[in-house]
Amino acid sequence: MNGMLWYGADYNPDQWLDRPDILARDIELMKKAHISVVSLGIFAWSALEPAEGDYRLDWMQEVIDRLWAAGIRVDLATPSGARPAWLAQKYPEVRRVNPDRVRQLFGDRQNHCYTSPVYREKVRAIDQALARRFGRHPAVVMWHISNEFGGECHCELCQQAFRDWLREKYGSLDAINRAWNTAFWSHTYTDFSQIESPAPQGESAMNGLILDWKRFVSHQTTDFMKWERDCVREIVPEAKVCVNMMYRFDMIDYFEMGREIDLASWDSYPTWHKPTQTFEETAIDTAMMHDLIYSVKGQPFWQMECTPSMTNWQGVSKVKKPGVNLFSGLQAVAHGADGVLYFQWRQSRGAFEKFHGAVVAHDGREDNRVFAEAARLGALLEQLAPVAGERKEKQAAIVFDWSAKWALEGSQGPRNKGLGYWEEITRHYAALSRLGVNVDFVNEDAELSGYRLVVAPMLYMLREDFAAKLRAFTQNGGTLVVTYWSGVADDTDLCYLGDTPHGLCDVLGLRRLEIDGMYDGETRRCIPAEGSPLAACTCGTLCEVEALEGARPLLLYDEDFFKGHAAAAVNDFGAGRAYTLASRFEEGFYLPFYRGICEGLVTRAWPDELPAGMLAVRRGRFIFLQNAADTPNRAGDVELPAYGTAVFEDGKRIL
Ligand code: GAL
């Protein structure tokens, strides 16, 4: 249903089949909490098929009918995230093989081989049994395909699939040998069967192979997801599917998977209230993931999971303080969520997650803070229904490409102590976020039209076609920011020969001379160049030395052998402007830098400067003002308590 913000939770009635009283009470409490949808039966396979081919779906029928009667819709899960013991025992090939080539035993979850024909067949059978029985039930509005896809398998079936994938991609061994520069250390392949996935006791040095393995793992995982999707759609062609994605997850290119689903979603578990970060920093970090998941499809998403109170797997299980659950639910909506769901509705009695927070805890009561806040958020989301479906205006884009990240982080040098890629991205994102500028994330397949500002942090792997897009974007009046260690290698991780940043030297008006690694805590002073609006600051991590060929310096290194060289520069190119940031600067650098750039370029969500902790986000005709601070705060005449939110529709306050 459009026109509403969904509110719900993972619901596991399969754990309570011997307690009909509890199942009945669930519905009663869901109504009180304003629940409109549940993700049903995510790990219910052994209750649905206790023995091979023996389907027991009646209990689920009863649950779905009861939910429907109460006006609650179902996001029906395919149960492939965890398989029954009988399956793992009878068909060893479904169990994953680790990088060291040891096959796993039965246990845990999301650890099956995505290539295994047996696993695919068994999954097909259960998915289609569910689709036949429930696919046309009016309550079922969405399919939750598996759960948090991830991991990799190194079995013989996967090795073969990897080789087939390479053959398809490159056509010949010669092309592979060239693409990976296998002449290095005499690694030239003479037969496809010699190619093996990376292993601790085998290949760990061939950058191109490792990069392609990561791409293959993402491809194979997506292929498995498509298999499940198509099994369901064979029975119910109009079925809508979603997958739940994860925080900073490295193993799947979510842009690739996102193309194959109807709805993107993610599971959000920030460690609120940690002593090493302000509440605002945690909020901005979370907002960044919301914006990345929004960008996966460029449309509203769901926050598929979060805890109403605490997790049980973080180092310290901290409870969300009063007001924080409201803050985080509304923050998701501000950044484009059309659904806010919890893990989990009811706390399980035993096993790994028995102490994980839930809307209903072991005491089964509704007269407590967690339930009351959950119910309040449900009521507010009903009130905010007009926000549903609203898009975010295209303003700034940060380039984030999974392949480019794998290549960057998979290379040896110039700093094996950690490149801090997310840290770099966060500095740009945080500044733009504090300025109330909408940020999308784009990969190297993206079209850049519509954006006013494009930021390319550490775009080490820069494809020729994307370099051409960045050039055209700037030429046509866009503002481009490129950092150090960009335009170094091509899409098989071969270094570009000649001047770098490849394809951008004339756009940026400079070329790279050298790059120096800094130890943790080691910094270099920078001073403003003549006439520059920027203030003196320090930088570290990596210091790139540029030869300016047309660009004007903004900051100059003030120490070390590169003293006097530009640490930041700007170049006019066509109708646009391109900035180079040659190092990672102290955090305080970025806000004034972007404030200057955004002046006259984009309309910020809040017209005046906001005090520290206040964040404003525009979503269509709505503006969300949130106090991401532990104390009351004020912006103009709007006063908000700690973690408070105000919402404006066309300038008029509605919350
Ligand atoms: C998610 C997972 C859920 C649950 C939750 C606990 O990653 O999808 O099934 O385990 O974590 O926080």
**pLDDT above 70 as % of the chain:** 100
Encoded tokens for 109: 């979850």
pLDDT tens per residue across span 471-493: 999 999 999 999 999 999 999 99
pTM: 0.98
Ligand 1 centroid, distance to 311 Cα (angstroms):
9
| Helix or strand run (H / E) with residue 594 | helix 590-598
Ligand 1 centroid, distance to 105 Cα (angstroms):
21
Is residue 414 within 8 A of residue 517, CB to CB? The reply is yes
**Shortest-distance Cα residue to atom 3 of ligand 1:** 343
pLDDT band at 613 (very low <50, low <70, confident <90, very high): very high
pLDDT at 224: 98
Is residue 645 within 8 A of residue 326, CB to CB? The reply is yes
Phi–psi pair at 364, nearest 5 degrees: 70, 15
pLDDT at 154: 98
Is residue 625 within 8 A of residue 635, CB to CB? The reply is yes
Cα–Cα distances in Å, from 211 out to 181, 216, 219? 13, 9, 12
**Shortest-distance Cα residue to atom 5 of ligand 1:** 343
Among 390, 298, 598, which Cα is nearest to 606's? 598
Closest atom, ligand 1, to C-alpha of 307: 12
User: CA 433, CA 617: separation in Å to the nearest integer?
Assistant: 8
Closest atom, ligand 1, to C-alpha of 246: 7
Phi–psi pair at 412, nearest 5 degrees: -95, 125
User: CA 257, CA 464: separation in Å to the nearest integer?
Assistant: 23
| Helix or strand run (H / E) with residue 75 | strand 73-77
Among 78, 167, 165, 154, which Cα is nearest to 116's? 154
Indicate whether 2 pLDDT > 90.
no
Phi–psi pair at 468, nearest 5 degrees: -65, -35
- Give the three-state DSSP class for 565: coil
pLDDT tens per residue across span 501-529: 999 999 999 999 999 999 999 999 999 99
pLDDT at 460: 98
Ligand 1 centroid, distance to 153 Cα (angstroms):
21
Is residue 80 within 8 A of residue 41, CB to CB? The reply is no
Is residue 135 within 8 A of residue 236, CB to CB? The reply is yes
What count of other Cβ atoms lies within 10 Å of the Cβ of residue 407?
A: 24
Among 317, 254, 321, 328, which Cα is nearest to 284's? 328
pLDDT at 539: 98
Partner residues linked to 75 by β-bridges: 39, 142
Angle ∠(271,311,30) on CA atoms, nearest 5 = 120
pLDDT at 470: 98
Among 292, 327, 295, 322, which Cα is nearest to 309's? 322
pLDDT band at 1 (very low <50, low <70, confident <90, very high): low
Phi–psi pair at 83, nearest 5 degrees: -105, 155
Residue with tokens 């959950």: 374
**Shortest-distance Cα residue to atom 1 of ligand 1:** 267
Indicate whether 35 pLDDT > 90.
yes
pLDDT tens per residue across span 200-225: 999 999 999 999 999 999 999 999 99
Among 477, 615, 468, 585, which Cα is nearest to 523's? 585
Is residue 539 within 8 A of residue 559, CB to CB? The reply is no
Is residue 283 within 8 A of residue 633, CB to CB? The reply is no
pLDDT tens per residue across span 72-115: 999 999 999 999 999 999 999 999 999 999 999 999 999 999 99
Give 612's Cβ-side CA count (13 Å radius): 6
> Is 305 among the catalytic positions?
yes
pLDDT at 120: 98
pLDDT tens per residue across span 361-413: 999 999 999 999 999 999 999 999 999 999 999 999 999 999 999 999 999 99
pLDDT tens per residue across span 582-608: 999 999 999 999 999 999 999 999 988
CA dihedral 523, 525, 528, 533 (to 10 degrees): 40
- Average predicted confidence (pLDDT) for the chain: 98
Encoded tokens for 448: 């850049």
Partner residues linked to 112 by β-bridges: 95
Ligand 1 centroid, distance to 227 Cα (angstroms):
23
Is residue 162 within 8 A of residue 213, CB to CB? The reply is yes
Ligand 1 centroid, distance to 148 Cα (angstroms):
8
Which one is catalytic: 49, 148, 373, 444? 148
pLDDT tens per residue across span 297-352: 999 999 999 999 999 999 999 999 999 999 999 999 999 999 999 999 999 999 99
Residues with CB under 6 A from ligand 1: 147-148, 267, 269, 305, 311, 343, 353, 356
Mean per-residue pLDDT, 607-613:
92
Mean per-residue pLDDT, 29-37:
98
Torsion-angle region of 251 (φ positive above 0: left; ψ -120 to 50: alpha; else: beta) = alpha
Which one is catalytic: 93, 152, 305, 546? 305
Rg (CA), the chain: 26
Pocket test for ligand 1, best of 39, 148, 314 (most atoms within 8 A of CB): 148
Indicate whether 240 pLDDT > 80.
yes
Is residue 398 within 8 A of residue 362, CB to CB? The reply is no
**Shortest-distance Cα residue to atom 4 of ligand 1:** 343
Angle ∠(280,459,216) on CA atoms, nearest 5 = 100
Residue with tokens 């494809």: 463
User: CA 446, CA 469: separation in Å to the nearest integer?
Assistant: 9
